[in-house]
Amino acid sequence: MKNIIICCVLLCTISLLFATPQVPSVTASQRTDASKKVDIYYNLSHFMPVTISVQASNDNGISWNLPITLITGDIGANISPGNGKHIVWDVLVEHPDVIYENVRFKVIADDGQSPPVPQDFVYVPGGTFTMGRTTGSGDSDELPTHTVTLNSFFIGTYEVTQAEYSQYMQPRPSWTSNYGLGDDYPAYYVSWYAILKYCNLRSMAEGLTPVYSISGSTNPANWGSVPTSNNSTWNAAICNWSANGYRLPTEAEWEYAARGATNTPDYLYSGSDDLNAVAWYVGNNSPNGTKPVGTKAPNGLGLYDMSGNVFEWCWDWYSSSYYSSSPSSNPTGLASGSSRVARGGYWYSSAYGCRVAFRSNYSPYSSFGSIGFRLCRAVP
């Protein structure tokens, strides 16, 4: 009988703060004895027992349909909260004479009360937080701090990967080993304009309502080529905030999610005051370039790489003085401008540039090896 090789890459959660279940610290490894069983460990935080299920992928997370039924342990209904939960998968019995590599596991907690969470997304409960530079030193455009209230939304667990981007858009020729190349690496050298097209193409392919419209059409086939210079027609794109398709986060949504939907604790970076634990940046990134998503620790919501790795485009037009006039409820930025917001820092940023309050901006037609993106979706 062949040896089964399972390479387990981190994995994920339906993880929520406060009233929803949280499943951090998921790890998996294969035993070295003759059984070759796979041990999956996780922690579960919630106020009541939940139903736990597991999904597996052997195609870098593009699909999660690898059969995984011969499992025992802390799986199924009425799993009580606690640490060190243990699931055992008898892979050798279920898949004899097959070798799988780079298998990913997703542990899902369902309390029967939270809205269904799309695959590889996290539910962010609506709430009120203080936006802007609440601690440490920084730039003037991070002030004044101001109170923002947001509706609930879904946000991607990871930055959009090269594999995900290539399903709907042409792979970028500028993706090279110099800046990071591979299915699990973040997509970079993608302009803000190109992301609008990607979002609608993916929404349409998955039977969702496209969010963006340009010249009255939500079908990118009617938009023409993605502009490589400033374009007033694409600048006037309209976002349907109630549509259930894919979109960019607003700047406020991004910061709220990066903070873990809370100002307590008031971390300097996303999920920690220890930047090395949560981010790839100039202080720990050798060789230079992006790194596979999800290889640093997540923040309190279970989101990875919101500090470092690549900057992430947001919907909003940038203004250095916007915080002085920002609406307090679901702000979406100015109606016009010359550059769009990007947040989070990148693989060659200093610690200063990886702060959750740090703001950057770029022309919407520009693309760099330092900028990628993360998706959002509306909660029904």
Q: Quick check: bond before 331 cis, omega within 30?
A: no
Tell me, yes or no, whether 227 lies in a domain.
yes
* Residue-number span of the structural domain to which 84 is assigned: 8-110
Tell me, yes or no, whether 3 lies in a domain.
no
Tell me, yes or no, whether 2 lies in a domain.
no
Separation between Cα atoms, residue 23 and residue 10, nearest integer Å: 12
Residue 10 confidence (pLDDT): 37
Global confidence as pTM: 0.77
Last residue of one domain, picked from the residues 71, 89, 110:
110
DSSP labels for 335-350? Answer: S--S-EEEES--TT--
Length of the chain: 380
Tell me, yes or no, whether 377 lies in a domain.
yes
Last residue of one domain, picked from the residues 81, 110, 139:
110
Type of residue found at 233: T
Q: Return the sign of the alpha-carbon dihedral for residues 299, 305, 127, 114.
A: negative
Per-residue pLDDT of the chain (380 residues), as tens digits, is 334 444 444 333 333 334 568 787 788 999 999 999 999 999 998 888 999 999 888 876 667 788 899 999 999 999 999 999 999 999 999 988 888 777 888 888 888 877 788 989 999 989 999 999 999 999 999 999 999 999 999 999 999 999 999 999 999 999 999 999 999 999 999 999 999 999 999 999 999 999 999 999 999 999 999 999 999 999 999 999 999 999 999 999 999 999 999 999 999 999 999 999 999 999 999 999 999 999 999 999 999 999 999 999 999 999 999 999 999 999 999 999 999 999 999 999 999 999 999 999 999 999 999 999 999 999 98
Separation between Cα atoms, residue 92 and residue 101, nearest integer Å: 14
Residue 1 confidence (pLDDT): 34
Tell me, yes or no, whether 143 lies in a domain.
yes
Helix ranges, 150-302 (H): 162-166, 192-205, 232-235, 251-258, 275-278
CB atoms within 10 A of CB 125: 18
> What is the bridge-based pairing of β-strands 50-57 and 38-44?
unpaired
Query: 163 and 245 share a domain?
Result: yes
The CATH number given to whatever domain includes residue 158 is 3.90.1580.10
Query: 165 and 289 share a domain?
Result: yes
Separation between Cα atoms, residue 44 and residue 82, nearest integer Å: 5
Query: 159 and 44 share a domain?
Result: no
Query: 123 and 94 share a domain?
Result: no
Query: 125 and 217 share a domain?
Result: yes
Last residue of one domain, picked from the residues 86, 110, 134:
110
Query: 265 and 353 share a domain?
Result: yes
Order across the sheet with 121-124: list the strands: 121-124, 153-156, 376-378
Tell me, yes or no, whether 134 lies in a domain.
yes
Instruction: Give the number of domains in the chain.
Output: 2
Query: 102 and 182 share a domain?
Result: no
Query: 83 and 156 share a domain?
Result: no
Tell me, yes or no, whether 223 lies in a domain.
yes
Tell me, yes or no, whether 63 lies in a domain.
yes
Query: 239 and 106 share a domain?
Result: no
Query: 280 and 320 share a domain?
Result: yes
Query: 149 and 227 share a domain?
Result: yes
Query: 281 and 153 share a domain?
Result: yes
